[in-house]
Amino acid sequence: MNGVSGGAAEPGELTLEGLRQRLVEFAAARRWEPYHTPKNLAAALSVEAGELLEIFQWLTPEQAAAVMSDPERAHRVRDEIADVLAYLVQFCTAVGVDPLEALAAKIERNEHRFPVPDEGADVNPDVD
């Protein structure tokens, strides 16, 4: 019921729902569910997003643009992306929200809220 849209993941196929199920089993096998409250998971998500930002905090725009050509930094970036996504998916499971549906609904709202600007108009990317 709390699953990601699209129903059962087919074996071997990489889908958000398939990964979600693996994360649920992973936490259950290690008896981590009591720690996985919505509040704790929201904190952990925020902590991991901070760790991703940490990679960039002192980089110049040029260094930041080339972050993936440094193998050690590239590994850290992939690792932190995985952590953020893992906690987001686990948070969504804890509160019973399908993240893909939530994002689809938000894109619809933003399409009304931020109409496509006229040529030459000033742009301002404040989406939240």
| Site track 34-73 with a copy of itself (rule: CB under 8 A), x = hit | -xxxxxx-xxxxxxxxxxxxxxxxxx-x--xx-xx-----
Residue with tokens 């108009």: 121
Rounded CA separation 98/5 (Å): 7
Cα 76 versus chain centre, distance: 16
* Positive/negative CA dihedral, 75, 78, 80, 86: negative
CB of 86 to a copy of itself, least distance (A): 6
CB of 69 to a copy of itself, least distance (A): 11
# residues contacting a copy of itself (CB under 8 A): 80
Q: Which of 27, 70, 71, 72 binds a copy of itself (CB under 8 A)?
A: 27
Residues 85-114 that bind a copy of itself (CB under 8 A): 85-86, 88-89, 91-92, 95-97, 99-107, 110-111, 114
Q: Which of 1, 12, 29, 112 binds a copy of itself (CB under 8 A)?
A: 29
13 contacts a copy of itself (rule: CB under 8 A): yes
81 contacts a copy of itself (rule: CB under 8 A): yes
Structure tokens at 120: 């030459």
Residue with tokens 């709202």: 109
H-assigned helices in the chain: 16-29, 38-56, 61-65, 71-95, 99-113
